[in-house]
Structure 1
Amino acid sequence: MNMAPDDARRGTPLYQAMKEFVESTDGTLPGRFEITKEGIVLDKVSPVMPHTLTALHLRKRLERVMPEELVAHMGEPDVENAPEGIMRRPDIMVIAWADMEGQGSFDPRALIAAIEIVSRSNPDNDWVSKMRDYPLLGVPVYAVFDPREGKGAVLSDIHSTPDGPRYATRKNFLYGEDVTISEWTIATEGLPRYM
């Protein structure tokens, strides 16, 4: 599903209508809807078990090495930048406990990192759309884990380009190697794969 992207920006009535639609479907349909630069996209989370287990492994591994005041949060709320017309919900958000207080969406600039586990049914959402949207939101580190192929990448160092902000640094990894997300290194050994 796609709605006119250019009209979705800068808090227009169309963006508000898309946001209301996304919020009205939350939890009623499989997967979740997010608002991107192209409009509304359905982020299918399947197969559920490898995707969920990967997120749980990563959360636990990160929380063992991060300071107490940080959390690897899974779930609601979304991160939103209404002027850019983007509302996303990363699989895992590295954020300070203090920045989770209050109502409404998280400020994306409060995130230390966004982590996504690639879905089998829509890999371009993680490898293309989110790779574009997260630097626009100001998320300093974006880590992608791909259970389809047992590999991933960590992107950082936002810089300006003619097409808007993009990540300048990309560090690829294979499952089995250690990976550094922001300043914390975790193992990728034993992460589930899609069959």
Structure 2
Amino acid sequence: MDTPLEIAWHDVEKSEQLETRIRARVDKLHRYFSHITSCHIVVERPHRSQHHGKEFHLRIEVRVPEHEIVISGDPGDRRDHFDPNLAVRDAFDAMERRLEAHSQKIRGNIKTLSGPPQAIVVRKFDGYGFARMSDGQEIYFAPNAVLNEGFDALSVGAPVELTVAEGEGAMGPQASMVRPISAVSLEAERREEV
């Protein structure tokens, strides 16, 4: 790294054990992209109302030549993020996927599919969800992107077809269209790939 790692602690007491874990995960990021110029991490526990717990949030900003890749918030199951180690694990797993995708894009190793990409809905929250494609990449989607019966009818584990938007939003790659499909369609696509 050209610039030393920066770790900031907001509304949470600094932990040597957690800092050691974060530094170890940062050291492994070079496996996914060889020239990382800087990395800034914020560990925080935002203030919430009495009805919500205080889950940990991690923001990772990685700068590479001509790009900045950001993982913000808690990209996993929020109930798990009362444990800071799980918040670190989920955030770094997401950053590794993003760095690997960026590296493949630069090398031109992006897969071409015969039709629209297909995925499985892996998480659904109030007002947004995530679908995982066969390569492990997770795509964010908003309710207004879901066709047919809509967002409310979509369940975790449901197969979908996606149209991925150009560029990335705050939550990473984003779908501009999500269309529920049958499980048979998804299995046929997987057999064709083999």
Q: TM-score normalised to the size of structure 1?
A: 0.28
Name the larger-Rg structure.
Answer: 2
- Higher relative contact order (Cα pairs below 8 Å, separated by 6+ residues): 1
TM-score, normalised relative to structure 2: 0.28
